[in-house]
Amino acid sequence: DFVLKNKDTVDTTRIYIGGFSLGGMTTFKMAALYPEMFAAIFPVCPYITVSNSEASNFADTPVWLVSGKYDVLVNYSRTQKNWKTVINTTNIAGQCRFSTLSIVCYPDGTLAPSAHYSWEAVTSDMFSSNNGEYPHMSTVTGTGENVSLTYPNGMISWLTQFTSNYSIDDIDI
């Protein structure tokens, strides 16, 4: 609806979707239903176990999955299973990323109340308040390479490197 209403100002080749917890679940579901629409996706602590058939629907879409290792609401083993499913079905493993936060802090370094607050890293573009690396985080690609994030090259710059072939003309009214 938003894209249709703003078709003159929306770059439909740069539509990204992300969400936190239940929104992470919705991110996976939307990507599986409308894979052609999204240039990249970033589910954070997704409250779902994504199936192989769902993941294969977005096999050409870059994914950056983020999770707190000690998240009591979304078990880390579920997130690891989601990562394996993504990597086993994707056609672009080297463009996918998985960030694990062993401790979740606000950007100023204050401990968050729960490891489920992994969105704090995402909303600060994976950096601390002094533009240093986000503490207590490791990131790997789908091919197993470690990623060292150096300001200003966080999630936003990762997202914006991807485009799709999606067009407003593809929207079925």
DSSP classification of residue 46 = -
Q: What is the pLDDT of residues 96-154, one digit of tens each?
A: 999 999 999 888 889 999 999 999 889 888 887 777 788 789 999 999 999 988 888 89
**pLDDT tier for residue 45 given thresholds of 50, 70 and 90:** very high
Give the whole-number percent of the chain exceeding pLDDT 90. 73
What are the C-alpha distances in Å from 99 to residues 69, 94, 128? 10, 14, 15
The tally of CA atoms less than 13 A away on the side-chain side of residue 35 is 13
What are the angstrom distances between the C-alpha of 31 and each of 61, 108, 112, 138?
8, 33, 29, 25
Residue 173 in this model has a pLDDT that exceeds 60: no
Q: In the structure, what pLDDT confidence band is assigned to residue 4 with cuts at 50, 70 and 90?
A: confident
> How high is the pLDDT of residue 130?
72
